[in-house]
Protein backbone atom coordinates (compact mmCIF):
# COMPACT_ATOMS: atom_id res chain seq x y z
CA UNK A 1 0.00 0.00 0.00
CA UNK A 2 1.49 3.29 -1.09
CA UNK A 3 -1.48 5.45 -0.06
CA UNK A 4 -1.32 6.81 3.47
CA UNK A 5 -3.95 5.58 5.90
CA UNK A 6 -6.37 8.09 7.37
CA UNK A 7 -5.70 8.73 11.07
CA UNK A 8 -7.54 6.36 13.40
CA UNK A 9 -10.38 8.21 15.10
CA UNK A 10 -12.78 7.19 17.79
CA UNK A 11 -16.11 8.53 18.97
CA UNK A 12 -15.55 7.12 22.44
CA UNK A 13 -15.50 9.65 25.25
CA UNK A 14 -16.69 9.73 28.85
CA UNK A 15 -18.51 12.96 27.95
CA UNK A 16 -20.97 10.92 25.86
CA UNK A 17 -22.62 9.70 29.06
CA UNK A 18 -23.91 13.22 29.51
CA UNK A 19 -26.28 12.59 26.59
CA UNK A 20 -28.27 10.20 28.80
CA UNK A 21 -29.40 13.05 31.05
CA UNK A 22 -31.69 14.85 28.56
CA UNK A 23 -32.97 11.48 27.34
CA UNK A 24 -33.91 10.19 30.80
CA UNK A 25 -35.27 13.31 32.49
CA UNK A 26 -38.16 14.06 30.06
CA UNK A 27 -39.29 10.44 30.45
CA UNK A 28 -39.95 10.82 34.19
CA UNK A 29 -43.49 12.27 34.41
CA UNK A 30 -43.48 12.46 38.23
CA UNK A 31 -41.01 15.33 37.87
CA UNK A 32 -43.38 17.55 35.93
CA UNK A 33 -46.93 16.21 36.01
CA UNK A 34 -48.29 18.91 38.33
CA UNK A 35 -49.99 22.29 38.11
CA UNK A 36 -48.02 24.12 40.83
CA UNK A 37 -45.70 25.96 40.98
CA UNK A 38 -46.76 28.10 38.06
CA UNK A 39 -44.40 30.32 36.10
CA UNK A 40 -45.85 33.34 34.26
CA UNK A 41 -49.20 31.59 34.36
CA UNK A 42 -47.82 28.34 32.87
CA UNK A 43 -48.53 25.20 34.93
CA UNK A 44 -45.37 23.24 35.92
CA UNK A 45 -46.23 20.58 33.33
CA UNK A 46 -45.71 23.06 30.51
CA UNK A 47 -42.90 25.34 31.60
CA UNK A 48 -40.71 22.58 32.99
CA UNK A 49 -40.98 20.46 29.85
CA UNK A 50 -40.16 23.52 27.76
CA UNK A 51 -37.18 24.08 30.07
CA UNK A 52 -35.97 20.55 29.29
CA UNK A 53 -35.25 21.83 25.78
CA UNK A 54 -32.52 23.96 27.36
CA UNK A 55 -31.18 20.91 29.19
CA UNK A 56 -30.94 19.11 25.84
CA UNK A 57 -29.17 22.03 24.16
CA UNK A 58 -26.64 22.44 27.00
CA UNK A 59 -25.87 18.70 27.11
CA UNK A 60 -25.38 18.23 23.36
CA UNK A 61 -23.35 21.44 23.10
CA UNK A 62 -21.06 20.34 25.94
CA UNK A 63 -20.53 16.91 24.42
CA UNK A 64 -19.77 18.46 21.03
CA UNK A 65 -17.27 20.96 22.48
CA UNK A 66 -15.54 18.41 24.69
CA UNK A 67 -15.18 15.72 22.03
CA UNK A 68 -14.18 17.96 19.14
Partner 1 sequence: MSEHIVEIVIFTALFVLVSAMGFVAARWRRPADLASLNEWGLGGRNFGSWITWFLVGGDLYTAYTFVAVPALLFGAGATGFFAVPYTVIVYPLVFLVLIRLWSVSHVHSLVTPADFVRVRFGSPTLALLVAITGIVATMPYIALQLVGIEAVLTTMGVQGAGFLSDLPLIIAFVILAAYTYQSGLRAPALIAFVKDVLIYIVILVAVIYIPARLGGWDVIFGRAQEKFAASPAPGDGILLNAGNQLNYITLALGSALALFLYPHSITGVLAAKNRNVIKRNMSALPAYSLLLGLIALLGYMAIAAGVKPSVGENGKPLTNTVVPNLFDAVFPDWFAGVAFAAVGIGALVPAAIMSIAAANLFTRNIYREYLNKDATDAQEANVSKITSLVVKVGAVLFILLIDPQFSIDLQLIGGVIILQTLPSVAIGLFTRWFHKAGLIAGWVAGMGTGMVLLYNISNPAIDHAHFGGSAFPLEKLGLDTKMTIYAGFLAIIVNLVVAVLGTWLARALKVPDGPDGTRPDHYTADEGDPRIKDLDLSGST
Q: Kindly list the residues in this chain that would bind partner 1 in the complex (CB under 8 A).
A: 1-3, 6, 8-11, 16, 19-23, 26-29, 33-35, 38, 40-43, 45-46, 49-50, 52-53, 55-57, 59-61, 63-64, 68
CA dihedral 11, 14, 16, 18 (to 10 degrees): -170
Least distance in angstroms from the C-beta of 13 to partner 1: 10
Closest CA to 40 of 51, 25, 30, 28: 51
Closer to partner 1 by CB, 14 or 27: give it: 27
Amino acid sequence: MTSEKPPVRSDRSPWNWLLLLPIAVPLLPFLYNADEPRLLGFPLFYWLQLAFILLGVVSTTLVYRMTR
